[in-house]
């Protein structure tokens, strides 16, 4: 078979993730491209889908595992299988407007609020498409960084950054899934959006099924290859940030209820768009609190994506700690606290400093030597979780870490790790040391022993087991596996799209 000019292949390579903490030898790395990078078309979409299906069938014939990945952003090894094949989709990044003729007759919204994108489209590029003075739209939520592809971000169920919005997958209205023999356009039966004619232009079969949709929007890469996604956007808005140092006794109620009365935030009469607290477990007397307020965006506002916003105070702390402790490891505890004080100084945007989400949530460079895990917990349990985590930290006090709390609403995927209504995402971020990993593992064990309800971020450092996933997700495991059998009736294909990681968690029926 002659080589396909739009699929590059490399054999027997070392696959390295964005953060450079996962390095795995794989048998084949395939990178797929569209036939014309600058001329998006439905004919081109059909051609790329056909190429992806050819790769799927090649992997089936070769009896190897096939995993898709986007920007390689995950801290965990979820996108990769040793000696398997990787299909990189980061180069297929077409973005389309939706036409009035594409809408289902029962859809109550507008074509302008919808955007149709390929799986490799980065969040940054989607923002640039939406936030123009002409389009005046925006994503409802996104992560702290914008370098992820939409397919990869959905595959691991990232949690987003808005306290009254679910995870990123809560914005999805339709998803295209490719298997060896099927090209499916999947929507909710309860919320039809696009019509059969649109699916036909994709060469896809229209499927309206709530369970299949809710499985596919957080698929863990195990239901097939995601080729494209339909997102429902909101009107363009601006954000303004501040960082305050607040005593734990004053901010604790807000952390456990999202009621900001008397909390010490800049304007407790306004509900923030974003709320985050960072705690240095060496100094629990200070809670570094970031708040973002939201306002409508003027019609003529022109975003500047080259500005440095410093909008995410604290995101560079782990990298700073890693650099310093490599130089003077004997001073680790002192260095961590000193750097926290420098990086997390009190600051506030001036009244004129407002940014669109695309300006605010910018690219984060790779952080070699950094570890990060995320627990999702009910917000009423935040103080209890912090107490358990700090007691565990005192047994591993050399771990150079910080504790971070963010908030989001329950998300719709069957395996969304944002499962509580609402959810606190409790992160342990720090340097990739043995002490850090021991601490993360111990916190999970202590949560188990205390009967703490929680889940763990699929794409971050985790210590998930079959028993733990069953305890965390209950019957959702069975529902997801049932849909998996429906979408992939062939056992050989189910095995191909799985991995030892997922097999070990019982997500392989």
Which pLDDT band, with edges at 50, 70 and 90, does 222 fall under? very high
Better pLDDT: 206 or 366? 206
CATH number at residue 376: 3.40.462.10
Output Rg (C-alpha) for the chain, integer angstroms. 22
pLDDT in tens, 130-168: 999 999 999 999 887 788 899 988 988 888 889 999 999
pLDDT at 178: 98
Question: Residue 465 falls within a domain, yes or no?
Answer: no
DSSP state of 62: H
497 with 443, same domain: the answer is no
Neighbours of 183 (CB within 10 A): 20
125 with 175, same domain: the answer is yes
245 with 225, same domain: the answer is no
Task: Strands of 337-387 (E only): list them.
Answer: 347-348, 370-378
pLDDT at 78: 86
Helix (H, G, I), strand (E, B), or coil: what is residue 159? coil
Which pLDDT band, with edges at 50, 70 and 90, does 353 fall under? confident
Q: Report long-range pairs for 325-329 (Cβ below 8 Å, ≥24 apart).
A: 325/400, 325/431, 326/369
398 with 440, same domain: the answer is yes
pLDDT at 313: 43
Question: Residue 284 falls within a domain, yes or no?
Answer: yes
Better pLDDT: 333 or 431? 431
Question: Residue 467 falls within a domain, yes or no?
Answer: no
255 with 366, same domain: the answer is yes
212 with 322, same domain: the answer is no
What is the b/e burial string over 39-63, where b = at least 16 CB atoms within 10 angstroms of the residue's CB?
A: ebeeebbeebbebbbebbebbbeee
pLDDT at 314: 43
pLDDT surpassing 90 at residue 56: yes
Question: Residue 470 falls within a domain, yes or no?
Answer: no
Q: CB–CB of 236/255 below 8 Å?
A: no
Question: Residue 473 falls within a domain, yes or no?
Answer: no
pLDDT mean across residues, the chain: 90
pLDDT in tens, 281-320: 988 899 999 999 999 999 999 999 886 544 444 444 555 5
45 with 128, same domain: the answer is yes
Mean pLDDT of the region 470-477 = 96
84 with 114, same domain: the answer is yes
Better pLDDT: 370 or 41? 41
3-class SS letters over 163-220: CCCCCHHHHEEEEEEECCCCEEEEECCCCCCECHHHHHHCCCEEEECHHHHHHHCCCC
Mean pLDDT of the region 161-187 = 96
Question: Residue 390 falls within a domain, yes or no?
Answer: yes
219 with 254, same domain: the answer is no
Q: Percent of the chain at pLDDT above 70?
A: 89
217 with 327, same domain: the answer is no
pLDDT at 77: 84
pLDDT surpassing 60 at residue 462: yes
| Range of the structural domain that residue 403 is part of | 237-459
pTM, 2 dp = 0.93
CA gap 88, 33 in Å, rounded: 9
Alpha carbon distance, N-terminus to C-terminus of the chain:
34
Question: Residue 249 falls within a domain, yes or no?
Answer: yes
Q: List beta partners, residue 405.
A: 277, 426
Question: Residue 283 falls within a domain, yes or no?
Answer: yes
Cis peptide upstream of residue 399 (ω within 30 degrees of 0): no
188 with 58, same domain: the answer is yes
pLDDT surpassing 70 at residue 387: yes
172 with 153, same domain: the answer is yes
Domain count, the chain: 2
């Amino acid at each position: 078979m002659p080589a396909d000019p739009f699929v590059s292949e490399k054999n027997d390579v070392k696959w390295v993730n964005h953060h450079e903490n996962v390095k795995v030898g794989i048998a084949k790395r395939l990178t797929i491209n569209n036939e014309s990078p600058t001329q998006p078309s439905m004919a081109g979409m059909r051609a790329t889908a056909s190429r992806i299906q050819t790769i799927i069938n090649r992997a089936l014939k070769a009896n190897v595992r096939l995993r898709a990945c986007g920007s390689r952003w995950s801290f965990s090894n979820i996108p990769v299988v040793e000696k398997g094949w990787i299909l990189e989709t980061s180069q297929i990044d077409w973005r389309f407007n939706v036409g009035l003729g594409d809408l289902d007759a029962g859809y109550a919204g507008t074509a302008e609020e919808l955007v149709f994108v390929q799986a490799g489209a980065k969040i940054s590029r989607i923002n640039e498409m939406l936030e123009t003075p002409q389009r005046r739209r925006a994503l409802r939520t996104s992560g702290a960084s914008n370098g992820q592809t939409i397919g990869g971000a959905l595959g691991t169920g990232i949690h987003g950054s808005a306290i009254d919005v679910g995870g990123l997958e809560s914005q999805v209205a339709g998803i295209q899934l490719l298997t060896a023999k099927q090209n499916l356009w999947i929507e909710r039966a309860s919320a039809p959006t696009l019509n059969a004619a649109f699916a036909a232009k994709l060469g896809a079969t229209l499927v309206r099924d709530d369970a299949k949709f809710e499985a596919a929007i957080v698929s863990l890469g195990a239901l097939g290859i995601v080729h494209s996604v339909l997102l429902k956007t909101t009107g363009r808005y601006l954000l303004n940030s501040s960082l305050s140092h607040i005593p734990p006794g004053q901010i604790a109620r807000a952390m456990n209820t999202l009621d900001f009365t008397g909390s010490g935030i800049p304007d407790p009469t306004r509900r923030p768009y974003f709320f985050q607290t960072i705690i240095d477990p060496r100094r629990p007397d200070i809670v570094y609190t970031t708040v973002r307020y939201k306002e409508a965006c003027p019609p003529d506002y022109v975003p500047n994506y080259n500005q440095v916003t410093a909008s995410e105070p604290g995101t560079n702390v782990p990298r700073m700690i890693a650099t310093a402790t490599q130089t003077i490891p004997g001073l680790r505890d002192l260095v961590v606290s000193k750097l926290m004080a420098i990086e997390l100084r009190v600051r506030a945007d001036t009244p004129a400093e407002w940014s669109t989400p695309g300006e605010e949530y910018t690219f984060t460079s790779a952080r070699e030597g950094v570890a990060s895990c995320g627990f999702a917990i009910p917000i009423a349990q935040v103080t209890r979780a912090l107490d358990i985590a700090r007691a565990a930290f005192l047994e591993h006090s050399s771990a150079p870490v910080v504790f971070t709390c963010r908030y989001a609403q329950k998300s719709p995927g069957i395996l969304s790790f944002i499962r509580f209504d609402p959810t606190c995402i409790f992160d342990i971020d720090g340097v990739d040391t043995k002490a850090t990993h021991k601490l993360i593992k111990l916190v999970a064990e202590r949560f188990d022993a205390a009967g703490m309800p929680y889940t763990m971020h699929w794409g971050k450092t985790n210590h998930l087991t079959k028993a733990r996933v069953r305890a965390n997700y209950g019957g959702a495991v069975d529902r997801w596996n049932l849909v998996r059998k429906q979408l992939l009736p062939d056992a050989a294909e189910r095995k191909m799209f799985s991995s030892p990681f997922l097999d070990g968690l019982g997500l392989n029926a």
